[in-house]
Amino acid sequence: MLQATETQVEEDILTDIVLEDEWSLVLFNDNHNTFDHVIHCLVDICGHDALQAEQCAMVVHFKGKCTVKSGEYDELAPIFKSLTEKDLTVELNA
């Protein structure tokens, strides 16, 4: 019985570590950026293809926000900075 408990604790710790490394970059709707500008930024900065960028822009328009990229903080932080410099409203969430 002790061995099963130790295994469960190890699994719980590993799950916590994995979840902490997963960050989301969320783009929010605004009233001043054009679809073209948003799509251009998603292609150039996030590495989306044109269709993916257009779909994200549509989701943002109709739903108010969209997760445009997920990954580790160190990967997403410079993307976050670049998008904010392009006047997009973004948030980086753990």
At 27, list the tokens: 């783009």
> Considering its fold, how many domains does the chain have in total?
1
**Do 70 and 21 form a contact (C-beta atoms < 8 A)?**
no
CATH of the domain at 60: 3.30.1390.10
58 within some domain: yes
14 within some domain: no
2 within some domain: no
Range of the domain at 81: 22-93
Residue 86, classed as helix, strand or coil, is coil
CA 82 to CA 88: how far, in whole Å?
9
State pLDDT tens for residues 20-63.
579 999 999 999 999 999 999 999 999 999 999 999 999 999 99
3 within some domain: no
73 within some domain: yes
CA 24 to CA 46: how far, in whole Å?
12
**Confidence label for 15 from pLDDT (cuts 50, 70 and 90):** very low
Above pLDDT 70, what percent of the chain? 79
**Do 83 and 90 form a contact (C-beta atoms < 8 A)?**
yes
* Per-residue model confidence (pLDDT) at position 8: 54
Eight-class DSSP state of 71:
E
Exposed, middle or buried: residue 29 (CB in 10 Å: 0-12, 13-18, 19+)? middle
The residues that bridge with 93 in the sheet, in sequence order, are 24
